[in-house]
Amino acid sequence: MSEQRTPDQSAPSGQRIADAAIRVIAHRGFDVVSVRSVAQESGLSAGTVQYHYRTRKDLLVAALERSVERQTQRVMAARGQSGHRASLTRTLSELLPGEGVRDEDAAVWVSFGAAASTRDWLAELYWEEMRTFQALVRDALRRAQKDGVLREGLSPDDAAPLVTALVNGLTLDHLNAPHAVRRGVEDALGRGLALILAD
């Protein structure tokens, strides 16, 4: 993983705290998140952290929501590629491990997915984010189907969970892989999407 980033001193405190919680999860682990560890990472006092997020659970929820927000911002900024497969490959690549915040957000997603298997409150939140992810992919696949490039025998409803599973699997497989392997993650995504989209 890349080096830790310096906290953005100009960001609003709530965002700065959530970003710090993301860095704690990505670099030290899900179970290390506490008011104290996040305060240290953010450069803010523990009192300021507790003012915004009263409990550890609140910090964890804020970290997941902020990570999803960052990923959404990157995906939206990456739009505009012509062709359905090229466009989906480009936008979904922003969710895969890469460098910096991409690695952080990938680590958060994997950590929350694992933690959700033993925490009902987190499973509900994680599944809500997964349903949103699948809905966005389903919309893109509906446009592809309308243009006749969704592979025969697939519907957007059937293919959307395949695409999200592809992204999640590549994220898990490549997050801690050697650099030489990690370089191929976007190509692997493109090959996987070629099985679903024919353009």
Residue by residue, pLDDT tens for the chain (199 residues) are 334 445 455 567 899 999 999 999 999 999 999 999 999 999 999 999 999 999 999 999 999 999 999 999 999 999 887 899 999 999 999 999 988 999 999 999 999 999 999 999 999 999 999 999 999 999 999 999 999 999 999 999 999 999 999 999 999 999 999 988 988 999 999 999 999 999 8
Do 93 and 164 share a structural domain? Answer: yes
Mention every residue, 6+ apart, whose C-beta is less than 8 A from residue 197.
Answer: 84, 85, 88, 141, 144, 149, 150, 151
| Last-in-domain residue among 16, 36, 63 | 63
- How far apart (Å, rounded) are the C-alpha atoms in residues 125 and 163? 20
- The answer to the question of residue 73 being in a domain is no
95 and 46 share a domain?
Answer: no
CA torsion, ordered 37, 42, 44, 49, to nearest 10 deg: -60
Q: What is the pLDDT of residue 1?
A: 38
Residue 167 falls inside a structural domain: yes
Domain identity same for 34 and 111: no
Q: Do 30 and 101 belong together in one domain?
A: no
Same domain, 189 and 156: yes
Domain count, the chain: 2
Question: The CATH number of the domain where 35 resides is what?
Answer: 1.10.10.60
Same domain for 97 and 24, yes or no, is no
Report if residue 118 sits inside a domain: yes
Evaluate whether 27 touches 1 at the Cβ level (below 8 Å). yes
pTM of the model: 0.89
| Domain-located, residue 71 | no
Residues 26 and 102 in one domain: no
* 68 inside domain: no
Dist CA 35 CA 167 (whole Å):
32
Q: Which domain holds residue 37?
A: 7-63
Both tokens assigned to 196: 């679903």
User: Closest Cα partner for 111 from 163, 162, 175, 56?
Assistant: 175
What does the pLDDT read at residue 79? 87
Query: Residue 2 has what pLDDT?
Result: 38
User: What are the angstrom distances between the C-alpha of 13 and each of 26, 40, 44, 123?
Assistant: 20, 14, 8, 27
Instruction: Please state, in angstroms and rounded to a whole number, the distance separating the CA atoms of residues 23 and 45.
Output: 17
Q: Which helix (H) or strand (E) holds 149?
A: none
In a domain? residue 124: yes
In a domain, 69, yes or no: no
